[in-house]
Chain A
Amino acid sequence: MDLDAQVAVVTGAGSGIGLAVAREFATAGAKVVIADIDAERARMAAQQIADTGATAVGLPVDVASREAVTKLFATVEEQLGPVDILVNNAGISIDRGVRGITDEEWKRTQDINLNGVFLCSQTAARSMIPRRSGRIINVSSRAWLGWFGQLSYAASKGGVVSATRSLAIELAKYGITVNCLAPGLIDTPLLRREPQEVMERLLTAQPMGTIGAPADVGWAAHYFASPASRSVTGQVLYVCGGKSLYAQPARG
């Protein structure tokens, strides 16, 4: 198995896409850390994966807190060894457009979606550089290209794309690749919180006419984590059913 014995930290893996990534990695032989702000969710998800015979640990983290991130990686190193693969997946979406969004909401979105990527990547990179290998995979969103009512979310995810490119350029010589996944419409709890009317509008914008599954993103993350992608770095891979090519706006 191509991720045998690799230590993989997946943030926000208590649910949705992150959980699918963790499952995919475990199936490929990795030892996975489910890191989530919801400690109970992380514990249960890790238990589920461990029940299949894989190594999985659930740990609490708020990716927006330097202290919590430092503690997370120290605990991982103690329990499983240094991190080989980091997936920055934790994210929130507060969509109230330019007229509605408050200072607090804007700040919280950047804190988790963008600062979280900085804090976790810096901590992981410092441990990967001396070992001359590693994989960092950031979960941005197709929405970084811009979308109705998604000002703060899109801006935070655009920051993730930019961070990915600079990290990739800086870390390439150490054999560390940094890539970015930009999911489009994916069937997760985050999406199910959207009202019916929003869902219909979202489906109209889908060139393939379908909604993706968390496992579609899990598989793409596996590719970026695997030795097979050693010459691919700084890329933004849209897992979006073609929505990044043309996202048709609703009429009227």
Chain B
Amino acid sequence: MPDTATRSVLVLDPAGSATAQAIGSHLGSTGYGVDTAAEVPTDPSGPLDAVVFEPGLLDGAPTRNAADQLLTAVERLRPHLRAQQEGGSRIVVLTSRDGLGWPSRPALAAESGALVSAARSLALQLGRTGTTVNVVAALPPEGSPLRAEGRPENTHLYEPEALTPTPVTRQDIADTVAFFLDARSGYVTGQVLYCCGGASLLSSMSV
């Protein structure tokens, strides 16, 4: 579903994650001009059409204060975001489905939950500037070390799985990011899309 001719995107990848890499290469292959950086560059090039913040939660990076990092990054990038008259800018934040609550990863769940709250607040803050802020909350994808963790100790639960026939891949996550980044998604803001093959549906917090 291409509509990306020469749009510029900054991928913030503080953890050097495999998911960030997959997102960057997918966006690059569909026509975006992609810059990847561990933190906000001192002088980001040109007006930015989009920013992707991927703190590495889906790959089990030992992240702390991801919401602070997001808020600081957005504050610094604000002057570089494309103006409303030119279609505004898109910000997409990556979190884990663990934000709905997961026994063996409460810290990761809390980071995910905080990112959603921060993103919703940013969406309200930036609404009138034409910049949208959305969240992709994914199931840890195929290849993530989290998928190999096995049963949470002292519970009878097992790692959530996709209900759909194929496991969730990093490509699926990149596709979801691409939807929010699209120029035509300008009326969608503050939303969370679970890219999890339906695994989020079994929690009350997912609606």
Contact = CB atoms under 8 A, between A and B. Distances in A.
Contact of B127 (A184, A230, A242): A242
Contacts of A237: 188, 191, 193
Contact of B197 (A233, A241, A242, A245): A233
A242 B189 contact: yes
Contacts of A177: 164
A56 interface: no
A216 B182 CA distance: 11
Interface residues of B, number: 40
A210 B169 CA distance: 35
Given A175-B164, A216-B184, A226-B1, A168 B198 contact: yes
Interface in B171-207: 172, 175-176, 178-179, 182, 184-191, 193-198, 200-202, 206-207
A238 B201 CA distance: 17
A173 interface: yes
Given A208-B189, A242-B189, A223 B179 contact: yes
B38 interface: no
B123 interface: yes
A85 to B, nearest CB: 14
Contacts of A212: 187
Given A169-B201, A208-B128, A233-B197, A228 B189 contact: no
Interface in B148-174: 162-166, 168-169, 172
Interface string A151-184: 0000000000100010011001111010000001
Given A223-B1, A239-B188, A242-B189, A231 B162 contact: yes
A168 B207 contact: no
A228 B164 contact: no
A117 B6 CA distance: 40
B37 interface: no
B164 A208 contact: no
Contacts of B172: 230-232
A28 B184 CA distance: 14
B120 interface: yes
Interface string A207-243: 1111011011001101100101111111111111110
Interface of A: 2, 28, 132, 161, 165, 168-169, 172-175, 177, 184, 207-210, 212-213, 215-216, 219-220, 222-223, 226, 228-242, 244-246
16 contacts: A28-B1, A132-B165, A169-B201, A207-B128, A207-B189, A208-B189, A216-B187, A216-B188, A228-B176, A230-B166, A231-B168, A232-B195, A234-B201, A234-B206, A239-B187, A242-B190
